[in-house]
Amino acid sequence: MPARKRLLVWGAALALAASPLEAATWILPSSARAPGAGGAFYSTGLTVSNTGATEASFTLKFLGHDADGRGGPEKAFTLAAGRSVTYADVLGSVFGLSGTYGAVRISSDSAFLAVTSQTSTPAMGGGTFGQSVPAFAESDLVRAGESRTILAVREDASFRTNLVLANATDAALDVDASLVGEDGALLGTRRVPLPPAGMTQVSRVVRELGVAAAVAGARLVLSTPTPGGAFAAYAAVIDAATNDPRTLLPLPAASTAGAASDCGFVNASGAYTRASLHTVASVQSGTLLVDASRSGRRIPLKVWYPSDAPAGRLPVVVFSHGGGPNPNGHTSYAEWGTTFAATGYVSIHLAHDAGDLAAICAKYGIGAAECAGLSPLQVDRPLDASFVLARLAEIEAAFPELAGRLDPARVAVAGHSFGSYTVTSTAGAKVNLSATVPSARGLSFSDPRPRAFLALSPQGVGRFGWEADSWDPIARPYMSITGSCDSTTGEQAVGRLDPFRYTPAGDVYLAYVLGGYHETFGMNGLGSPDFLRPDLAPFIRMAGVAFLDAYLKGCPVATEWLRSSGLSAASGGRASLHWKLRDGENGAVPVQACSP
Per-residue confidence of the chain (596 residues) as pLDDT tens digits? 333 332 333 333 333 333 333 468 889 999 999 988 777 888 998 888 888 788 989 999 999 999 999 999 999 999 998 899 999 999 999 999 999 999 999 998 887 888 888 888 888 778 888 888 777 888 788 887 678 899 999 999 999 999 999 999 999 999 989 888 887 778 888 889 999 999 999 999 999 998 999 999 999 989 888 878 899 999 999 988 888 888 899 987 544 444 445 899 999 999 999 988 999 999 999 999 999 989 899 999 999 999 999 988 999 999 999 999 999 999 999 999 999 999 999 999 999 999 888 888 998 899 998 898 888 889 999 999 999 999 999 999 999 999 989 999 899 999 999 999 999 999 999 999 988 888 889 999 999 889 999 999 999 998 888 999 999 999 899 999 999 999 998 889 999 999 999 999 989 999 999 999 999 999 876 666 667 888 999 999 999 999 999 999 989 899 999 999 999 999 999 999 999 997 778 778 878 888 86
Rounded to whole angstroms, the Cα distance separating 339 from 325 reads 24
Q: Are 34 and 101 in contact (CB under 8 A)?
A: yes
Residue 488, phi-psi category: left (phi > 0), alpha (psi -120 to 50), beta (remainder) = beta
pLDDT score for 195: 96
End-to-end CA distance of the chain: 62
Rounded to whole angstroms, the Cα distance separating 324 from 336 reads 19
Measured from the Cβ of residue 426, the count of other Cβ atoms closer than 10 Å reads 27
202, 519, 532, 590 from 568: Cα distances, Å = 42, 21, 20, 12
Q: Are 179 and 209 in contact (CB under 8 A)?
A: yes
**Mapping DSSP to helix (H, G, I), strand (E, B) and coil, where does residue 260 land?**
helix
Pairing of strands 314-320, 406-416: parallel
Q: Are 446 and 371 in contact (CB under 8 A)?
A: no
Listing DSSP states for 296-362 in one string gives TEE--EEEEEETTPPSS-EEEEEEE--SS--TTGGGS-HHHHHHHHHTT-EEEEE------HHHHHH
Q: Are 496 and 457 in contact (CB under 8 A)?
A: yes
Rounded to whole angstroms, the Cα distance separating 206 from 187 reads 9
Which of 59, 46, 63, 65 has its CA nearest to residue 119?
A: 46
Measured from the Cβ of residue 529, the count of other Cβ atoms closer than 10 Å reads 9
Rounded to whole angstroms, the Cα distance separating 428 from 443 reads 9
pLDDT score for 530: 66
Supply the pTM of this predicted model.
0.66
Pairing of strands 452-456, 245-248: unpaired
Pairing of strands 113-122, 41-50: antiparallel
Domains and CATH numbers, the chain: 3-252 (2.60.290.11), 274-586 (3.40.50.1820)
pLDDT score for 525: 63
Query: Secondary structure of 239-253 in the HEC alphabet?
Result: ECCCCCEEEECCEEC
Burial class of residue 590 in the structure, from the number of CB atoms within 10 Å of its CB (0-12 exposed, 13-18 middle, 19+ buried) = exposed
Residue 467, phi-psi category: left (phi > 0), alpha (psi -120 to 50), beta (remainder) = beta
